[in-house]
Amino acid sequence: MPVTRGLAWAATLALGALLAAPVVSLAFTAAEGTGELWPHLAAYVLPQAIRDTALLLAGVGLLVIGLGTGTAWLVSAFDFPGRRLLDAALLLPLAVPTYVVAFAYLDLMHPLGPVQSGLRGMLGLAGPRDLVLPELRSLPGCILLLGFVLYPYVYLPTRALFLMRAGGLLEAARMLGAGPGRTFFRVALPLARPAVALGTGLALMEALNDVGAAEFLGVRTLTVQVYATWVNRSDLPGAAQIALVMLACVLLLVGLERLARGGRGFAGTGQRERPSARRRLGGGRAAAALTLGGVPVILGFGLPAGYLALSAWRRVQGAGLPDTLLAEAVNTILYAGAATVLTVALGLLIAAAPGLLGRRQGAALIRMAALGYAMPGTVLAVGLLAPLALVDSGMTALTGASLALVGLGTGGALVMGYGMRFLTVSVGATEAGLARIPRTVPDAARVLGRGRLSTLLTVQVPLAWPAILSGALLAFVDIAKELPLTLLLRPLNVETLSTHLYGEAARGTYEDGAAAALLIVGIGLIPVILLLRLDRDAVLRRG
C-alpha cells in the first residue's frame, strides 16, 4: 500500500512538472526582455492583436453556435430523404484544417479566380475592377471561414445530447401541443446548454490556436503576433510576453465556458434511453431542410476540397508532382503516428489512473492532462524552448557530444509537443470507454487473482477498444493538421505537408501548394470516415 501511494504521488508530480514547465519557462523568458520592449508591445502590438483576437473569437463563437446547434437539431428532430447522408457529411469539415480552407478560398475568390471571372462573364463586365466583391482578406472573411470549419465541435456533442438524453422530454413537449420552434427554444436548447458550451469552448480554442488562416487573411491575432515576433523579428522575450497574454485569454475562455454551463454537466438515468421520434418532412420542406443542412458541408468541405482537387490535377498535368511531396507526406504520417502512439499509451494510463493509483491522484492526473490542450501551439512551443535547451545541455554534459534525442531541433521535441498538446483527446475517449464497462467485470477478474494492471490490459482494454481507437483517430487527425507547433519545433531541413503548404501560400504560389493541401485533406479524411463507421456500428449495437 505505501508503495502504491508513493507511485501515485510520483506520477502526479511528474506529469504536473511536465505540464507546468512551459508556463514557468514562459514567465522566465518574458522577464528577460528589456525595459523598452514591453512599452513598445503594449503601445503598438497588443492593442490591435487583442482587438482582432476578441472580435474573431466573438464572431466565430456566434457562428459555430448557430451552425452547430441548428444542424444538430435538424438531423435529430426531423426525418427527410438524405438525412442519414447529411448526418455523416456534417462531420467532414473536421478533416480540413483551417489554413487549408483559407488557402483554397484565397485562390478561389481571387480577382482573377474562377468565381469573380465567372461573375464578370455572366454580367458582361470587362476587367477585374468592374466587379467588386467583399474582400476575403479581412476579419469578417476570417470569421466566416473559421466558423464553417469549426462548427462540428458544437455539432457533435449537441447532436449526441439531442439523440440520447432529450428524447423523452421532447416527446412530452410535443404531446402537450408544443410546435417544433417552441420545443426547440423552450426544451431542447436549455437541455443542450452544457454541450453547446463545451463545443463552443473547443472551437474557440482552435480559433485561438490558428496561425495559418489568420495570417493568410491579414488578421493580426495574438497567435500571429507570437509567431511574427519570434521568427520574423528574432525576439523571443517579446514572443513570450505576448504568449503570456494569450495564456490569460485561454484562462478567460475556460472560465467563460464553465460559467456558460452554469455548473451543469451531462447526466443520464443509468438506463438505456430511447431516442426521440423524428418529425417526418416531405416535399418542399424536405428539400429546404436538406439544402440548409448542406450549406455548411459545401462551404466548409465541398468547395475547398473540390477546388484543391482540380488545382492539383492541373499542376500534375502541367509540371507533375513536386519532387519533395512524397517525403513530406511520409514525414507527416511518421510524426503524427509516433505522437499518436505516445498519446494513446499515456492516455490509457491516465484514464485508468483512478483504478490503478487511487481516485484522488487519478482525478488530478486527468485534470492535468487537459492543460496541454488549453495552451495554443505557439504558447506551448515558446514555453518548451528553455526546458528542451536544458535537456540538450544535460545530454551533452553526460555524453560529451550533442546526442540529444528530445532537445531542440529534433524529431523528439516535435513528438513531445504534439503529445502534450493532444493528450487530453486520448484521455477523454479512453475514460469514456472504460466508464461503459460494468464495474462487476474488473471486480470478477480481481477475484480470480488478476492484478490491477493485468485486469486493465487483458480485460478492460479489449472491451473499450472502440473508444480507444476513436481517441487515437481523433488525435491523429488533430496532430496531422497542426501547424503552429510544427512550424516552431520541427527539425532543421525537415518539411511536412503543412509547412510546405504554409511556404507556398506565403509565396503566393497556390497551384504548387494544391497537391500538398489535398494530401492533408486526404490524411484527415480517412480517420474521419473510420470514426463514422465506428459510430454507426455503436448505434447498431445499441439498437
Query: Which domains does the chain possess?
Result: 7-264+292-542 (1.10.3720.10)
Grid cell, residue 336, equals 503524427
- The rounded distance, in Å, linking the Cα atoms of 160 and 162 is 6
In this prediction, residue 5 carries a pLDDT of 56
In this prediction, residue 268 carries a pLDDT of 45
- Categorise residue 536: left if φ over 0, alpha if ψ from -120 to 50, beta otherwise: alpha
Instruction: Determine the angle formed by the axes of helices 411-435 and 2-31, rounding to 10 degrees.
Output: 130
DSSP 352: T
What are the phi and psi torsion angles at 527 (to 5°)?
Answer: -60, -35
From the list 281, 485, 270, 480, the residue with the least C-alpha distance to 377 is 485
Q: b or e along 498-525 (b: 16 or more beta carbons within 10 Å of the residue's beta carbon)?
A: bbbbbebbeeeebebbbbbbbbbbebbb
In this prediction, residue 149 carries a pLDDT of 93
Q: Which amino acid appears at position 435 of this protein?
A: A
Question: Which residues are CB-neighbours of 450 under 8 A, at least 6 positions away?
Answer: 458, 459
Cα 69 to chain centroid distance, Å, stands at: 18
Contact assessment for residue 520 and residue 100, using Cβ atoms and an 8 Å cutoff? yes
Q: What is the CA radius of gyration of the chain?
A: 24
Contact assessment for residue 169 and residue 337, using Cβ atoms and an 8 Å cutoff? no
In this prediction, residue 269 carries a pLDDT of 42
Helix, strand, coil shares of the chain, percent, nearest 5, are 80, 0, 20
In this prediction, residue 296 carries a pLDDT of 94
Task: Cite the DSSP H helix spans in 298-410.
Answer: 303-319, 325-351, 353-356, 359-374, 377-399
In this prediction, residue 88 carries a pLDDT of 84
Please state the pTM of the whole predicted model.
0.80
Tally the residues of the chain: 543
In this prediction, residue 1 carries a pLDDT of 45
Please tell me whether residue 508 adopts helix, strand or coil conformation.
coil
Grid cell, residue 443, equals 471486480
From the list 201, 212, 287, the residue with the least C-alpha distance to 251 is 201
Please tell me whether residue 280 adopts helix, strand or coil conformation.
strand
Contact assessment for residue 110 and residue 222, using Cβ atoms and an 8 Å cutoff? no
- The rounded distance, in Å, linking the Cα atoms of 161 and 130 is 49
The vertex-289 CA angle with 288 and 294, nearest 5°, equals 100
Tens digits of pLDDT across the chain (543 residues): 455 556 556 666 776 777 777 878 878 877 776 556 667 777 777 888 889 999 999 999 999 999 999 898 888 878 889 888 998 889 888 888 888 888 888 888 877 778 877 777 777 776 666 666 777 888 999 999 999 999 998 898 888 777 765 555 565 556 555 556 666 666 666 777 777 887 888 888 888 888 888 888 889 888 888 888 877 777 778 888 888 888 787 777 777 766 765 555 544 444 444 555 677 888 888 899 899 999 999 999 999 888 888 888 887 787 777 778 888 889 999 999 999 999 988 888 888 877 766 677 777 777 777 777 777 788 888 888 777 777 777 766 666 555 555 555 667 888 888 988 888 888 877 877 777 777 777 778 777 777 777 777 777 778 877 778 878 888 888 888 888 888 888 887 888 888 888 888 777 776 778 888 888 888 877 777 776 666 555 544 444
Task: Cite the DSSP H helix spans in 32-45.
Answer: 37-40
- The rounded distance, in Å, linking the Cα atoms of 501 and 518 is 10
CB atoms within 10 A of CB 137: 13
